[in-house]
Structure 1
Amino acid sequence: MSVIYVLLTISICVALVFFAAFVFSVKKGQYDDAYTPSIRMLFEDELVETKSDKNNQNKRQTK
């Protein structure tokens, strides 16, 4: 029965070490997205038309 207590204590200690390592790596930025910025230039940007752009296009079409 005492072996179960020892194993339980060791497993909780190991779990706490892994949790601390995870929290440390998140705070240091290990999980920030480093892949997407490098390929962002390969994708087309969506054009956003504003009201002034639409007004300028309408004026050009009426001339």
Structure 2
Amino acid sequence: MGLGDGIKNGAENLVGKAKEAVGTMTDNDKLVAEGKADQVKAHAKDAASDVKNAGTDIGDALTGK
């Protein structure tokens, strides 16, 4: 994952936390759900990137890079 992707995912996670907090304060269940969904999406993108990086590391190890 590039640095830009990491920043985007972190920002998406923060936006999700903010939505969840505002939804909780205003008793807006839809906004709470949107916030949680944004956070899950950001974490999933981070996890996918970690898997991709691990695959690259394994490939480099096998080819001697």
TM-score under structure 1 normalisation? 0.46
Larger helix fraction of residues: 2
TM-score under structure 2 normalisation? 0.44
Greater RCO (Cα-Cα under 8 Å, separation 6 or more): 2
Q: Larger Cα Rg: Structure 1 or Structure 2?
A: 1
